Amino acid sequence: MEKLIISPAPHIHSGDSIAKNMYGVLIAMVPALLASLYFFGLGALIVTLTAVAACVLFEFLIQKYILKSEITIMDGSAAITGLLLAFNLPSNLPVWMIIIGALVAIGVAKMSFGGLGNNPFNPALVGRVFLLISFPVEMTTWPVVDPLATTYLDAETGATVLGILKEGSASLPAISDMIIGNIPGSIGEVSAIALLLGLVYMLIRKIITWHIPVSILLTVAVFTGILYLVDPQTYASPLVHLFSGGLMLGAIFMATDYVTSPMTFRGMWIYGVGIGLLTVIIRTWGAYPEGVSFAILIMNGFTPIINFYVKPKRFGEKPKKA
Amino acid sequence: MRTFRIGGIHPAENKFAAGKKIKTAAIPKQVVIPLAHYIGTPADPIVKRGDVVMVGQMIGQASGFISANVHSSVSGKVVKMDVQLDASGYKRPAVFIEVEGDEWLETIDRTPDIKRECTLSKQEIVDKIKAAGIVGLGGATFPAHVKLMPPPGKKAEVLIINAVECESYLTCDHQLMLEHAEEILVGVTILMKALEVNRAIIGIENNKKDAIQLFKKLAVNYKGIEVETLKVQYPQGGEKQLIDALLRRQVPSGTIPVEVGAVVQNVATTYAVYEAVQKNKPMIERVMTITGKDAPSPGNYRVRLGTYLSSVVEEAGGIPEGTGKIVGGGPMMGRSLMNLNIPMAKGSSGVVFIREAESIRKPVKNCIRCTKCVTVCPMGLEPYLLMAQSERNMWPEMETNRTMDCIECGSCSYTCPSNRPLLDYIRFGKSTVGGIIRSRTSK
């Protein structure tokens, strides 16, 4: 016995780590990734590899040469940003645009605020929205589903469900196709079932709690349900809204981002309901057919004020008699 | 199965000494009996150098309300009145006694016979408990008799016996319950009488099935005593958490349990109460657990107060190879010891050897705002926020965010995936905010 370690309690630790949580999220995204590779083939592969590689590389370069700080690319958070960015892109987007999106996501939205834990807005969504307003045509030209396709930039394109709703140009695909993912759209958003599988995994591993996804989906279902009951001719049914566009992807993987979502269960409800309402408002009356990304980014902006005013249920807050 | 309603964690139990019979540790050549307890004012010494004392003889007189008498745990000669480094990490007053023989005061009944009848009045019981120097043996060492005297206007309705032992590794209470169930139940009836309540609940966690079975079987012979099985969840042994689990009542912030009609006593304290009231035996020894993942023979030992921990540990096979940290008490709330030349005190529930790899804290990373600390906090606080405010000396904000409610259970630091020292900073903030509050109220 040479020397003993002295430190304040507690003297044991759960063994949980940032990397464990981040890799858990990556595992949860595997079903959706496989679905995108199946439905969009080569294009999905190129988009995914480019986005992930670019995000990890930019984080590495910024930490090594600009910040001269510890390199944290192995904690998995840059890879998540890359994969989420890819999930939000069409499978025929040119590589150089993806790289610009990755630079904005990692460089502007994440590292310029101080890296993991300090960014006010979801980096992948900032990257996506930047691309959407910079390249509106390329970002809204969606290849049609072509299982295991070998085409990339020259893929055949078609309208998304929400695009059809906005334009009224064609008839809607079947709900079953929407659930499985057999519809045009961003590569990671189309398969609701694969995304839900990821949600179940994250809930079992206790990586996230149910509050945010449930509050968002419930709000969208209720709000669109009311509109549908009022006028089924004008407004789409709640099922169409739930299983189309980026709602599942947003509710399960984007809105639940640790850093940019509230810290209390009550706060999560406010945040989730806000995202749900904004999503439906933008989809129904806005200029864009899809509003999930904007809704999440707007509510990201409200997160600090929610944390300031909404406190957890304190012990002894309302003493109950047995 | 019941448990408390806010937060909580479930660390690996590692109760290696469970089921190990209580061994009586050898009487050492010298004891160093601390006059100070974990909380409260140290007792005033009433012996001087050269005095000859017997086992059970009072050597320190309680001074002040939150203070407890101290008795000699051995017979022999007082050789020194000095300060001694104790588990708190500070040098505090103690009585050094050189052991000669093992002569007990004649008034102490040392037979193993169980004495059930107690004809004493409420006040006589409280006085006897006070005279015996009994403190809470769960670790906080709050004088037991103080809890039996509710402030004017408050009335206890139910006595709660804390038999939870929610800290991992520790098994001393569990084993005590298996070996002295009848005595404990008599102790409960005595405490009920002292509090003038006709209902008592013994809360036991579900990882002690044998004790639950035994107590359920025996309790039918005692009127008003219920045994409740609780889901294993840390920190259920916290007074407020236990009351919430058993009664579904939450003690309001800044008040004591009797506010919701409850008084909580630890199970080992209850046993000490039995011994004091029925057997005239003051608080001179207790059961403690010596354990660890690599401990050569994890076990439960009955040890005289003032015995150096080194001598008990020697008896239990010594310090295992590769130990990085020695914890006095449980791993969640205990204190890391500088060495084993520390005397056993009333609050010493165990010695836990932690492997070197587990002893070293991992590098601190950024807070990723995962909400896990908020989710596990049993008091409904926001540890991440309190730490950030403590780092920035934002004391008024810390007070508003109820930092004084923190029970220092350590669930936040235990859980944090970024290894952030949440509780270290909250403790620092608590002591500063506590000082500010005291100076404000004293004006």
Say if A43 falls within a structural domain.
yes
* Interior/surface letters B307-339, b for 16+ CB within 10 angstroms, e for the rest: bbbbbbbebbebbeeebbbbbbbbbbbbbbbee
Q: How far apart are CA B260 and CA A63, in angstroms?
A: 55
A122 Cβ contact list (under 8 Å, min separation 6): A84, A109, A254, A257, A259, A260, A296, A297, A300
Which two tokens mark A58? 């930019």
Cα separation values, A309 from A88, A203, A303, B165, B396, Å: 32, 27, 10, 37, 16
With cut-offs at 50, 70 and 90, classify the pLDDT of residue A234: confident
Give the pLDDT score at A321.
Answer: 46
pLDDT tens per residue across span A269-320: 999 999 999 999 999 998 888 889 999 999 999 999 999 999 999 998 764 4
Q: Is cis: bond before B417, omega within 30 of 0?
A: no
Whether the pLDDT of residue B84 is over 50: the answer is yes
**Percentage of residues in chain B having pLDDT higher than 90:** 90
Whether the pLDDT of residue A156 is over 90: the answer is no
**Percentage of residues in chain B having pLDDT higher than 70:** 100
Partners of residue B9 in chain A, C-beta under 8 Å: 14
Give ipTM to 2 decimals.
0.91
Of A5, A11, A260, which to mutate for an interface test with B (greatest number of B Cβ within 10 Å)?
A11
Whether the pLDDT of residue A33 is over 60: the answer is yes
Architecture of domain B122-279 in this structure: 3-Layer(aba) Sandwich (3.40)
With cut-offs at 50, 70 and 90, classify the pLDDT of residue A11: very high
pTM reported for the whole predicted model: 0.92
Partner residue facing A18 (CB), from B325, B408, B418: B418
For chain B, which residues make up each domain, given as ranges? Answer: 22-99, 122-279, 287-359, 372-441
Q: Tokens 């500063």 map to which residue?
A: B432
Contact call for residues B141 and B244 (beta carbons, < 8 A) = no
Cα separation values, B170 from A312, B22, B164, B166, B436, Å: 32, 13, 11, 8, 36
pLDDT tens per residue across span B15-59: 999 999 999 999 999 999 999 877 778 999 999 999 999 999 999
**Percentage of residues in chain A having pLDDT higher than 70:** 98
With cut-offs at 50, 70 and 90, classify the pLDDT of residue B177: very high
Whether the pLDDT of residue A166 is over 90: the answer is no
Average pLDDT across chain B, whole number: 94
Three-class DSSP category at B338: coil
Q: Rounded mean pLDDT of A150-168?
A: 82
Partners of residue B309 in chain A, C-beta under 8 Å: none
Q: Rounded mean pLDDT of B138-159?
A: 89
Nearest alpha-carbon partner for A72 in A49, A87, A56, A84:
A56
Contact call for residues A145 and A184 (beta carbons, < 8 A) = yes
Count: domains in chain A? 1
| CATH number where A95 lies | 1.10.3430
Nearest alpha-carbon partner for A275 in A226, A219, A208:
A219
Q: Rounded mean pLDDT of A216-234?
A: 95
Nearest chain B residue to A17, by CA? B417
The fold of the B287-359 domain, in CATH, is Ubiquitin-like (UB roll) (3.10.20)
Range in B13-17, B28-32, B137-141, B322-326 the model is least confident about: B137-141
Give the pLDDT score at A1.
Answer: 52
The helix or strand, by DSSP H or E, that contains position A157, with its residue range, turns out to be strand A157-158
The helix or strand, by DSSP H or E, that contains position B323, with its residue range, turns out to be strand B323-328
Say if A225 falls within a structural domain.
yes
DSSP designation for A183: S
Q: Rounded mean pLDDT of B59-86?
A: 93
Which two tokens mark A153? 């930039």
B369: left (phi over 0), alpha (psi -120 to 50) or beta: left
Range in A12-26, A137-151, A184-198, B241-255 the model is least confident about: A137-151
> Does the beta-carbon distance from A11 to B247 stay under 8 Å?
no
Whether the pLDDT of residue A96 is over 80: the answer is yes
Average pLDDT across chain A, whole number: 93
Q: Rounded mean pLDDT of B323-347?
A: 93
Say if A63 falls within a structural domain.
yes
The fold of the B22-99 domain, in CATH, is OB fold (Dihydrolipoamide Acetyltransferase, E2P) (2.40.50)
Q: Rounded mean pLDDT of B49-71?
A: 93
> Does the beta-carbon distance from A116 to B366 stay under 8 Å?
yes
B50 Cβ contact list (under 8 Å, min separation 6): B77, B78
What's the per-residue H, E or C state across A240-297?
A: HHHHCCCHHHHHHHHCCCCCCCCCCHHHHHHHHHHHHHHHHHHHHHCCCCCCHHHHHH
Number of A to B CB contacts under 8 A, please give it: 167
pLDDT tens per residue across span B226-270: 999 999 999 999 999 999 999 999 999 989 999 999 999 999 999
Is A113 part of the contact surface with chain B (CB cutoff 8 Å)? Answer: no
Say if A1 falls within a structural domain.
no
> Does the beta-carbon distance from A313 to B339 stay under 8 Å?
no
CA geometry: angle at B47 spanning B44 and B51, to 5°? 170
Give the pLDDT score at A223.
Answer: 97
B83 Cβ contact list (under 8 Å, min separation 6): B91, B92, B93, B94
- What phi and psi, each to the nearest 5 degrees, are found at residue B54? -115, 165
Q: Could you tell me the residue range of the domain that residue A300 belongs to?
A: 20-309
